[in-house]
A = this chain, B = another copy of it.
Amino acid sequence: MASLPRNDGAPPPPPRRRPPPRVLLLRHPHHFSLIDRPLPDGFLFLKPWESPLPFDDFLSSADARAAEAIYSSGREPVTADMLRRLPEARLVVTTSAGLNHIDVAECRRRGVAIACSGDVYTDDVADLAVGLLIDVLRKLSASDRYVRRGSWRSEGEFALGSKLGGKRVGIVGLGRIGEEVAKRLEAFGCAISYHSRKKKPYVSYTFYPNVHELATNCDAIVICCGLTEQTHHMINREVLLALGKDGVIVNIGRGPIIDEKEMVQLLVQGELGGAGLDVFENEPSVPEELLTLDNVVLSPHRAVYTPETLSNLCDLVVGNLEAFFSNKPLLSPVTTAKLDSVGFS
């Protein structure tokens, strides 16, 4: 028979509670503030920008050294040096779609888990990619400027656009985002092909083993891969020339995947048809030459900035932190398979 609890009138001792886990924020958590969302209870968030210490000194402070998790929005690198200096850190949570700012190898070596943004961004990014492609082909932004400056009335009809239906569109990097872009463009009657590190056995789209061959056989290319050493400047002058005078490039990946200087030159010279760009090599700087071209659409790295998606993202950050510190599986862990997919699948 189980022993009954004693009831001697005294209150039971409070359960011994673990102090709230310390989470180092590398930067003001702007995804939360953009939608007026408070940071969650149950954690002690370290805010280096509120400290009188320079960031580097803050990292060496007792406060930082006790941090058990690092939260990065994707702009601030999580380097091997930083990881060495934060010996208690066992988790990196990032809200970025890419992982190029994190020393993933060092995380693995040190047994630091990584929680990423999962599929939260996928739909918004795919929507913007299609929006940029329609905009460039049909000259939406350019014709909007034409109307706003009164030219429709004074100068008459605007230049012709180009039809989306029937266009051969090449997806560079057929991960989750690339697949969603392809699915949407199929509904417009586009012919989809792709380039990725390896052919996907379950996919019926035409596969090209290199991006130059893809460009040669396409009217438009959509960059859906992450930035890695392999994809840096993968879209070079030769690839852009293969895309050609009527070819369009859309980039919702990362700026440095394209050799921007070459792209700008070819756009100015009319050797490349057009570009829809959400990302640039030196954001928020945009090459001056692009600002006056009517065959480009310039988006300020906003592929994922909708309140709906930010809300889902904040849920995911909180969910990952809570899961990790309750010894439950992460909601969106970076696994080897995931690395393939966000890197360049």
A30, A150, A166, A186: most-surrounded residue (chain B CB, <10 A): A150
Partner of A186, one of B34, B130, B187: B187
Interface presence of A153 (CB below 8 A): yes
Interface presence of A145 (CB below 8 A): yes
Interface presence of A68 (CB below 8 A): no
Residues of chain B within 8 A of A141, CB atoms compared: 135, 140-141, 144-145
Partner of A306, one of B146, B161, B285, B307: B161
Residues of chain B within 8 A of A184, CB atoms compared: 184, 187-188
Partner of A127, one of B147, B165, B310: B165
**CB-CB contacts below 8 Å: A295-345 with B:** 297-300, 302, 305-310
**CB-CB contacts below 8 Å: A240-291 with B:** 283-286, 291
Rounded to whole Å, the gap between the CB of A69 and the closest CB of chain B is 25
Interface presence of A132 (CB below 8 A): yes
Partner of A160, one of B145, B146, B283, B310: B310
Residues of chain B within 8 A of A169, CB atoms compared: none
Does A143 lie within 8 Å of B307, measured CB to CB?
A: no
Known contacts A131-B135, A147-B291, A148-B291; A165/B123 CB under 8 A: yes
A interface residue count range (under 10 / 10 to 19 / 20 to 34 / 35 or more): 35 or more
Rounded to whole Å, the gap between the CB of A103 and the closest CB of chain B is 27
Number of copies: 2
Does B188 lie within 8 Å of A146, measured CB to CB?
A: no
Does B307 lie within 8 Å of A162, measured CB to CB?
A: yes
Does A305 lie within 8 Å of B124, measured CB to CB?
A: no
Residues of chain B within 8 A of A144, CB atoms compared: 141, 297-299
Interface presence of A128 (CB below 8 A): yes
Interface presence of A20 (CB below 8 A): no
Rounded to whole Å, the gap between the CB of A97 and the closest CB of chain B is 15
The docked-state distance in angstroms from the alpha carbon of A150 to that of B284 is: 9
Partner of A302, one of B138, B148, B310: B138
Interface presence of A6 (CB below 8 A): no
Does B145 lie within 8 Å of A145, measured CB to CB?
A: yes
**CB-CB contacts below 8 Å: A46-81 with B:** none
Does A131 lie within 8 Å of B138, measured CB to CB?
A: yes
Known contacts A132-B140, A286-B152, A298-B147; A305/B127 CB under 8 A: no
Does B158 lie within 8 Å of A302, measured CB to CB?
A: yes
Does A308 lie within 8 Å of B158, measured CB to CB?
A: no
Residues of chain B within 8 A of A134, CB atoms compared: 127-128, 130-131, 134
Could you show 23 A-B contacts with beta carbons less than 8 Å apart?
A: A124-B163, A127-B165, A128-B134, A130-B134, A131-B134, A134-B134, A143-B300, A143-B302, A144-B298, A144-B299, A147-B298, A147-B300, A148-B292, A148-B298, A150-B291, A152-B286, A157-B305, A158-B305, A161-B302, A161-B306, A163-B308, A184-B187, A187-B187
Q: A128-B140, A135-B140 are in contact. List 15 more A-B contacts (CB 8 A).
A: A34-B160, A123-B164, A131-B131, A135-B135, A139-B302, A140-B140, A152-B284, A160-B305, A162-B307, A163-B307, A163-B309, A183-B187, A184-B188, A186-B187, A187-B187
